[in-house]
Amino acid sequence: MSLFPQRVFSGVQPTGNLHLGNYLGAISRFVALQQTHDCIYCVVDLHAITVPQKPSELVANIREVTAAFIACGVDPKSHIIFNQSQVAEHAELAWIFNCVARMGWLNRMTQFKEKAGKDRENASVGLYAYPTLMAADILVYRATHVPVGEDQKQHLELARDIAQKFNNDFSESIATAGYGEAFFPLPEPLIQGPATRVMSLRDGSKKMSKSDPSDNSRINLSDDADTIAQKVRRAKTDPDVLPSETPGLAGRPEADNLVGIYAALAEGSKADVLREFGGANFSSFKGALVDLAVAKLGPIGADMRRLQADPGYIDTVLREGSVRARAIAAQNMKAVKEVIGFIS
């Protein structure tokens, strides 16, 4: 049992094409956690530049993610929304973590291997060190819980390893400075619900992703009702009817994915969905899914457009959030420096 006060932290990259996977796997969970926790939600712009970004698009994408947080129901007054580059302590702690993490640990990261592809020599150093910055994002607030989709699990394990190694390496100094046995909590991933890994609508073996060249592979939060309907109707399926129980989804990735999406949007379970639709063919199930998706996502898209039309408001939210985030980060960073043996 952790002795640290509970605090939630999570981040989303401003790399465009925010989609249903980001909403169901992460942002909808952010909203729910506000009822029970102090939450800090970050637009991770420093992570975005690990691959090339056009400055004009980056600005727009930072505002898009911020608008999505608010439109989905994150309250920037009761909780904190900000962009990473306005709080320099993230990068500062990341450097220290670069000196704590081991090359062998980073060499195991599957996301780097996927993103760098065959041309690894030409990937940025930032892309390689990405997970140490992610650990710093979380730990600079000494956050205890991190809502994410399934694809971030390995990065969270690395963040725990870094926290643990820091606590061990500096245990004497941590105790002398009055922080007891551990300075950092071991942050827990919260990977919950029926849609922790939403798959591409075109290929049930591939994750729904911002970078898929086919726009039909994903439902974007900015899609209008007609586009949502068209994409759902064109989604790949198999020839069978839906099973009545969840074991019947085994070996049917596309069916499993659509049922998971329906369950998450309806805030129920896959078993609930199959109780209702078992025996139905895909054309009738897809009709119901279109209605549900449009009912849930339509108002979010409309609200995002309204917010994005007022960049001044969005920038103020980010600036005010950054001031509040910085106050926490600066205090923790001061303690880290003391523990390490820096003079400040």
Sheet holding 38-43, edge to edge: 80-83, 38-43, 7-12, 145-147, 188-190
CA distance 188 to 199: 24
Count of residues near ligand TYM by CB under 6 A: 25
**Residue closer to ligand TYM (CB basis): 198 or 228:** 198
The span from the CA of 173 to the CA of 341, in Å, is 8
Tokens of 135: 């650990």
Q: Does 249 bind ligand TYM (CB under 6 A)?
A: no
Shortest distance, position 210 Cβ to ligand TYM, whole Å: 7
Closest alpha carbon to 21 in 187, 257, 331: 257
Candidates 18-26, 66-74, 167-175, 316-324 — which segment interacts with ligand TYM by CB under 6 A?
18-26
Report whether 12 contacts 29 (CB < 8 A): no
The dihedral built from the CA positions of residue 68, 31, 80 and 112, taken in this order, carries a sign that is negative
Residue in 228, 197, 234 with CA at minimum distance from that of residue 295: 228
Under DSSP, the state recorded for 79 is S
Nearest distance from C-beta of residue 200 to ligand TYM, angstroms = 8
Place of tokens 């075109």: 202
Span near ligand TYM by CB under 6 A; candidates 68-76, 149-157, 251-259, 307-315: 149-157
Query: Given candidates 7, 8, 16, 25, which one binds ligand TYM under the rule CB under 6 A?
Result: 25
For ligand TYM, the closer CB: 44 or 336:
44
Tokens coding 251? 């070996």
Is residue 137 a contact point for ligand TYM (CB under 6 A)? Answer: yes
Single out the residue of 47, 142, 286, 296 in contact with ligand TYM (rule: CB under 6 A).
Answer: 47
Q: Which residues are catalytic?
A: 115, 207, 210
Q: What is the radius of gyration, based on Cα positions, of the chain?
A: 21
148 binds ligand TYM (CB under 6 A): yes
Exactly one of 33, 158, 182, 198 binds ligand TYM (CB under 6 A); that residue is 198
* Rounded alpha-carbon distances, angstroms, from residue 88 to 134, 322, 333, 334: 14, 10, 10, 13
Residue 193 interacting with ligand TYM (CB under 6 A): no
Among 8, 16, 21, 289, binds ligand TYM (CB under 6 A): 21
CB of 258 to ligand TYM, least distance (A): 14
Binding residues (CB under 6 A) for ligand TYM: these are 9-13, 21-22, 25-26, 44, 47, 134, 137-138, 146, 148-149, 151-152, 155, 196-198, 207-208
